[in-house]
Structure 1
Amino acid sequence: MRFKKFVSFFLLFTLVLMSTVSYVNASVNMPSLIKIGLFYASNSLPSYSIVSSSGFKVGVDDGAGNVKTIYNISYNNVQVIKDDNFYLQEGNFSDQAMADSQQTKLSSDVSNSVVGYDGNYHIYIGPYLSQSDATAAMNSLKSKFSDVKLVSPNNHIVIVQNGKSVFLDAASNQIYLMDTSGDGPISINGKRYRGYFEFIRQQNSDMTAINVLPLEEYLYGVVPAEMPASWNIEALKAQAVAARTYAVYNIGEYSKYGFDLTDDVNCQVYNGYDGENPNTNKAVDDTKGVIAIYNGQPIEAIFHSHSGGYTEDSENVYTNSVPYLRGVEDKYVFGYNEAIDNWTVSVTADSVAQKLKSSGIDIGNITNIQVTSKSWTGRAIQVTIYGDKGNYVLSKNDIRNFFGLKSNMITISGNGSASNSNTTYIQSQQGIVSKSLSGLAVMSASGQKIVENNDLYILGQSKTIKITSQNGSSTIFTINGSGYGHGVGLSQYGARGMADHGYNYIDILKYYYKGIYVYDTINNKAL
């Protein structure tokens, strides 16, 4: 009887235990390495200064997606430079040692020689700015080198140390540079990063510079750039999972440039090794391999700073309705930052009219500005600007961009109130500030001048310049707002508040991303 009771108890215990474990059918391809664009497109450069602790390995793609080392450089500081010059090529060698030996022998007779690689090792003589210069040099060297030939520019990359070329890559338009020890970090233009660098000669551009490193090490440089490292560890963990999920979801987003993500607000801010902090590194390590999934796939884990009291449904900010990006009350978001809990921006009718005209839109004199549509959360999704020649409607993110607002959680008031002609408006980061200058004094080398009702004086180096303001008045509109960011997904200040009220990172993620699983990809289980 006791045995039967024990078996029954064991079965019951097993059922209870099984009921507490969530099994999820997920298929997630977690990248081992991620490529982050540091300098690309209009921000790319013709050369980069690179520093390591122990010299460099130069690598190329082996055709199977792996990096093959082709050359070792003992110097710990070099410049990587795009090269569009002519060269002469001599010799054919199977390895670096043979090529280096031959180059040393030639250096007394040919001072401008360097070892290079195009699939095999050669000695390259040059550079020459023109084909005629290279051809003339080739003719003079044919008596010494029977196999010398002309090499035309073809997106070459040269590595230079203190103005002297030490290696020429003529194999392709792409090379890799790694720290010899493999420990890193490596510095590019004064900023340090884990992993290694890839350089690509892009068409109609300078060289794209890419940081290649493990996903988890990438997150070390992301989390403290997106959330203060001093915040509650559970909020930092939630940010780490959101950042990891965002990266996995968006892998290859910038593949046309040869990398996955950017290092700025176009994706996630990434500050590399120099931006790391022990607290956020711990948050990354404690959540290693953990992501948020919906229907077995990584979610688009977007996040923002401060919701203003409610997060938002995705379609009220972007285009698509996403089932896990639903608005929720953000109960604990307030009380941490007064500057974004509540803020005010003032604009004048004249400034709004002028901004519209600069975009080719003329609706005449502005008579009113109103929020004409709100979401259920209270966030403005449509603002109408009324003019005596017509109206103009701003929608969703265009509202923030047009008025320079921190968020769309706003009300607009003040239509009909006019400013006096002796009031001057100053544009600042906080918006337009009005100031009456009447009666103020301006000092110059010639003495004191009193500001009259319609006059403003600017003090120059040699004289005071008088600017007379136009007569008339301009209507002022006051925009009162709360929050910072688009309002969709995880609210960072809200996550901080939840963590400070005892919630863990799993609770936080499931609150802001509805219907998700927090999934451990290493152990293949839901948490």
Structure 2
Amino acid sequence: MRYITFIFTIIGILLVPNLVSADQMVTVKLRNYIGNTHELDIRIEGDYFSLDPTLHLKEGVNYTLSLKKGELYLKNKGQKKQKITGGLILVPQVYDTNHVVFINDRPYLGAMEFIVEEDHSIRPINQLPLEDYLKGVVPFEVFSSWGLETLKAQTLAARTYAVSKMDQVMDDTISYQVYGGYEWDINTTKAVEETKGEVITHNNRLVETFYSASNGGVTENNANVWGGQPLNYFPIKDDPFDPTHPWEFSLHETQIDYESIDFSNPNWWENTAERDKDITDTIKSWLNRNGYPGDIKILTVPEFELKGDQLDSGRSVSGSISVTFMRRIFEGLVLFEQVQLKDMNLNRIRPMIGGTIFKSYLIDSLQLNSGVYTMKGRGFGHGVGMSQWGAHFMGEQGKNYREIISFYYPGTTIMDISSETLQQVK
């Protein structure tokens, strides 16, 4: 894949392992807001140039970029479509906040390349300086109304993560970090600017700056979540600052009463619905992704239980779930099937329910009463590293960002990479 060559000076890698200059460029595929589409609206502010000498976009004019039979076409109202050969690249004559590319009305700084992805989607790729990228990340990862010290701690976690991915093309989803372009907030921008170049290190190497919304009152070790070598800056310990965030959800054992279906009605399939649609829709998507294509109706969840084994943090490890369902291959052909995950790690089961419902593995109870499963737990996320809510309350209690980092990443050091001379932040 071909990416943009910038007009900006890129400062090279420093002579410390895994650390690079704060003026380095970040490359981000835009997926979260754009989605998969064959058409985009484009508008620019300021003067941009393209590598195609026959192409010049006018400031303030609305353009439509469309994809047809693997080829890109650019058009504005009243003009003939212009075929784009080899992708569309837009580079600002000057990099500043007066040069902006709007994609479907969302603003982005820096350069933008539009490529054809998998023959069916237009994929914008944004490239801009690290610090400005962070100004578009932090307000989407944490509440910008929180205190400045908490925002600084989140900034350091985000910057350290981004620097560790400099050799990759990231995207703007939770698979990396949520990035909202040039939709900055004054508070988070201040946090980025006042900590410019600061990253979290251990033995002069960048740390893995994992974080989650809430750890439920106890942190977790990385090895217990993802395997691999346990890192000593991710200890299991009580967190008195995290508000625990208790949660619960219910799931009916019987979603559709098979005996009550009126198969004589030609619209019986359309008229049949599950009781817990928010959960069963996620189960259906999981089934579609795991070898069961077609329309699905969930009949029952005859088994849903925990195995009982727990980590030192109190988090549950494994359990079982089974689902019976009807699957319509095409009109007139319906299969009756069952999927069973028996004594599986919960990281296989949780995606079936959905991470926004089954919020963590810190589970207090799972019971079946009167045909209804009820699970209760605490926290939101994996619990490794910084709790964002815990960091918020540490800030509320007067802790500064260095104290927040020290608590959630113990034994680490904050280093400054904003100059060629690596310095420890006191």
* Bucket of the pairwise TM-score, normalised by the shorter protein: 0.7 to 0.9
Could you tell me the percent identity over the aligned residues? 27
Q: Output the CA distance in 1 between the equivalents of 2:136 and 2:145.
A: 15
Pairing 1:262–2:160 present: no
**Cα 1:157–1:344, aligned 2, differ >3 Å: closer, same or farther?**
closer
Distance 1:188 1:320 in 2: 40
1:14-62 alpha-carbon deviations (Å, 9 max, x no partner): xxxxxxxxxx96551236211111149x9443332211223532137xx
Is residue 371–residue 411 contact of structure 1 (8 Å, CA) maintained in 2? Answer: no
Q: CA RMSD in A?
A: 3.4
Matches of 2:240 and 2:322, distance apart in 1: 36
Does 1:201 find its partner at 2:201? no
Alpha-carbon spacing, 1:344–1:207, altered in 2? closer, same or farther (3 Å): closer
Question: SS of the counterpart of 1:374?
Answer: coil
Partner of 1:178: 91
CA contact (8 A) 2:45 2:59 kept: no
Q: Contact conserved, 1:313 with 1:321, CA < 8 A, in 2?
A: no
TM-aligned CA deviation for residue 509 of structure 1: 1.5
In the other structure, the counterpart of 1:477 is 373
Q: Is the 8 A contact 1:369 1:412 kept in 2?
A: no
Equivalent residue, structure 1, for 2:309? 373
How far the C-alpha of 1:169 sits from its partner, in A, is: 4.4
Tell me the SS of whatever aligns to 1:372: coil
Q: Report the counterpart of residue 307 of structure 1 in structure 2.
A: 215
The C-alpha deviation readout for 1:420-476, integer Å capped at 9, x for no partner, is xxxxxxxxxxxxxxxxxxxxxxxxxxxxxxxxxxxxxxxxxxxxxxxxxxxxxx3x3
Q: Select the residue among 339, 344, 347 that pairs with 2:248.
A: 344
By how many angstroms is 1:70 displaced? 7.8
SS in 2 for 1:373: coil
Cα distance change, pair 400–169 in 1 and its aligned pair in 2 (3 A) = closer
Equivalent position to 1:288, from 179, 196, 212: 196
8 Å contact 2:18–2:206 — kept in the other structure? Answer: no
Separation of aligned partners in 2, 1:84 and 1:350: 46
Matches of residues 195-274 of structure 1 in structure 2 within 5 Å? 195-253=110-168, 260-274=169-183
Matched position secondary structure for 1:343: strand
| Unmatched tracts of structure 2, length 5 or more | 1-14, 256-275, 293-299, 324-337
Counterparts of 1:482 and 1:84 in 2: how far apart (Å)?
A: 49
TM, length-normalised to structure 1: 0.59
Corresponding residue of 1:517: 413
2:131–2:192: 8 Å Cα contact kept in structure 1?
yes
Deviation at 1:203, TM superposition (A): 4.8
Q: Is 1:28 the counterpart of 2:9 in the alignment? A: no
Q: What do residues 166-217 of structure 1 show as CA deviations (whole Å, max 9, x unaligned)?
A: 86543xx233213456432221111111223111234533332112111111
Evaluate the alpha carbon distance shift between residue 517 and residue 360 of structure 1 in structure 2; reply closer, same or farther with a 3 A threshold: same
- TM-score, normalisation: structure 2: 0.72
Q: Does 1:397 align with 2:324?
A: no
Listed as ranges, the matches of 1:347-496 within 5 Å are 347-350=251-254, 366=302, 369-384=305-320, 392-404=342-354, 405-415=358-368, 417-418=369-370, 474=371, 476-496=372-392
Q: 1:50 to 1:306 in 2, by over 3 A?
A: same
- Measured against aligned partners, the alpha-carbon deviations of 1:490-510 in whole angstroms (never above 9, x if no partner) come to 110011122222221122112
Contact 2:306-2:316 at 8 Å conserved across structures: no
Q: Name the counterpart of 1:297.
A: 205
Alignment match of 2:60 (pick from 76, 83, 95)? 76
Structure 2 counterpart of 1:48, one-letter code? L
Deviation at 1:71, TM superposition (A): 5.3
Cα pair distance change 1:413/1:54, threshold 3 Å: closer
Which amino acid in 2 is paired with 1:310? Answer: V
1:81 and 1:51 map into 2 onto residues whose CA distance is 10
Structure 1 pair 75–485 and aligned structure 2 pair: CA distance change class (3 A): same
User: CA 1:344 to 1:81, structure 2 compared with 1: closer, same or farther past 3 Å?
Assistant: closer
Letter in 1 for 2:164: Y
CA change 1:325–1:77 in 2 (3 A) is: farther
Query: What is the distance in 2 between the residues matched to 1:54 and 1:25?
Result: 38
Check conservation: 1:241, 1:292, Cα contact below 8 A.
Answer: yes
Within-5 A mapping of 1:34-113: 34-39=26-31, 43-59=35-51, 72-79=56-63, 81=65
SS of 1:77's equivalent in the other structure is coil
Question: CA separation in 2, counterparts of 1:412 and 1:157?
Answer: 54
d(CA) in 1 for partners of 2:99, 2:291: 52
**Of Structure 1 and Structure 2, which has the larger fraction of its residues in helix?**
1
Task: Quote how far apart the aligned CAs of 1:477 are.
Answer: 2.9
The 1:505–1:319 alpha-carbon spacing in structure 2 relative to 1, beyond 3 Å, is same
